[in-house]
Structure 1
Amino acid sequence: MPSRTARERVRGEVRQEILDEAERLIRAEGLPGLTMRKLASRLGYAPMSLYSYFSDKQALLRELGKQGFELVASRLSAAVERGGVDGVRELLVAFVRYAHEDPVHYRSLFLGDKPQIDRPDRPEDVNPAFALLSEHVAECVAQGVLEGDVVATSAVLWTAVHGAATVIVTFERCPFGSWETYAETMVDTALAGVHARPVTG
């Protein structure tokens, strides 16, 4: 009889298989195309069997959201090569680049109709990408190159790049010319703003 550890490992593998197929389904048909019945059919499972791994569709989406944020954080971290404000700029531009290169993932993670994650009071507790930005902003504040509240400043910068990313993925062609130039201009403008007028909590 399989040991508890072996059973848990197999269960974890099946759970990840379900998540991976759900991600593929979303990429193929968009978030509205994801249903538990359709997902079970693609996997060759009975629909009710999925509920032994996820209590409902929202539970599955929350886990997809958690993994999605971790993936974005990893991508942003790899893009940052410098410290200080230059590192913050690299991270913010990398976020817009991610949205441009993977618009389906961006839409499902950030523009879905329903929240995919729990929303505690502190955004850095649920979104490791935002936490990464906050760490770099905190470094700038500690160095004296930025002033203001770390979380509030991070939120303003995060909002600015979300706006830019959403424009880029919404329009078939960026209405402001080169998306790279637009993204860099938005990031530089946001950084200049928080530098000139420190954000308080």
Structure 2
Amino acid sequence: MPKVSEEHRAHVSEHIHQAALRVFARKGLRSTTMSDIIKESGMSTGAIYSYFANKEALTMSVASAVVGGRLHVLEELTATDPLPRPAVALRQLLSGVDPVLFHGGLILQVWSEASTHPGMAALARDMLTQVRTGITTYLTSFYAAQGLPADAAAARAVAAAPAVLGLGQGLIVQSTVFEDFDPDSYLRAVDVLLDPDHA
């Protein structure tokens, strides 16, 4: 039997991820079964289970891929000259998230699962810690570019990063709950809060 390349495995895994996301968005995270995902993917049962042992493993893989896929954006933002303003950075961080995650409050469903599922909670903590670290690095550079000494910029970034992470989560929550949600107004408010002298 020919050896399957890592590139092929990554491609198939992404295909399964996308099938799972579509079903999660339609039926909800808890109501979705592996049979639903298998049918949506068009793959055989054996093929799916050769990648993911169960729905829990697949759900955690999807969540990890979504968040991990955004971490490189923070790295790119920090390396940009000139640095984008906080609201612009937040917009870029969230803009590449698959729209299906917002449909039906899927992200909120994942967070809800994290409140009761130890494995999902551990994954959520790890992913959010990585995002917060990336935000801290970006903010350190941003505040330094605004003229703060290095130590002061780093201290301010550490203090602000949890709230900035919360602002991103707030955008996701409000965009899910309010039909008339205006992300531009929300992001202007972010600039007012984080950089009032230039908002």
CA contact (8 A) 1:87 1:136 kept: no
- TM-fit CA distance, 1:57: 1.4
Q: Equivalent residue for 2:117?
A: none
Give deviations 1:86-124, integer Å, cap 9, x for gaps.
43331124456668x93x414323542313561456844
- Are 2:132 and 1:136 equivalent residues in the alignment? no
- TM-fit CA distance, 1:31: 3.0
Number of matched residues?
Answer: 182
CA contact (8 A) 2:139 2:161 kept: yes
Residue type of the alignment partner of 2:161: S
The whole-number CA distance in structure 2 between the counterparts of 1:123 and 1:109 is: 13
Aligned positions of 1:44-63 closer than 5 A: 44-45=42-43, 47=45, 50-63=48-61
- Are 2:191 and 1:165 equivalent residues in the alignment? no
Q: Equivalent residue for 1:199?
A: none
Residue type of the alignment partner of 2:134: L
Change (3 A) 1:25 1:82: farther
- Are 2:101 and 1:105 equivalent residues in the alignment? yes
The whole-number CA distance in structure 2 between the counterparts of 1:70 and 1:134 is: 16
Change (3 A) 1:181 1:43: closer
- Are 2:71 and 1:69 equivalent residues in the alignment? no
Q: Equivalent residue for 1:34?
A: 32
Change (3 A) 1:43 1:120: closer
Residue type of the alignment partner of 1:39: I
SS in 1 for 2:113: coil
Q: Equivalent residue for 2:186?
A: 182
Question: Match for 1:118 among 123, 127, 134?
Answer: 123
CA contact (8 A) 1:88 1:133 kept: no
What are the ranges of 5 or more consecutive residues in structure 2 without an aligned counterpart? Answer: 115-119
SS in 1 for 2:123: coil
CA contact (8 A) 1:124 1:131 kept: yes
- TM-fit CA distance, 1:77: 6.8
Superposed CA RMSD: 3.7
Identity %: 19
- TM-fit CA distance, 1:10: 4.7
What are the ranges of 5 or more consecutive residues in structure 1 without an aligned counterpart? Answer: 196-201
Q: Equivalent residue for 1:92?
A: 90
CA contact (8 A) 2:87 2:191 kept: yes
CA contact (8 A) 1:160 1:190 kept: no
TM-score, with structure 1 as normaliser: 0.67
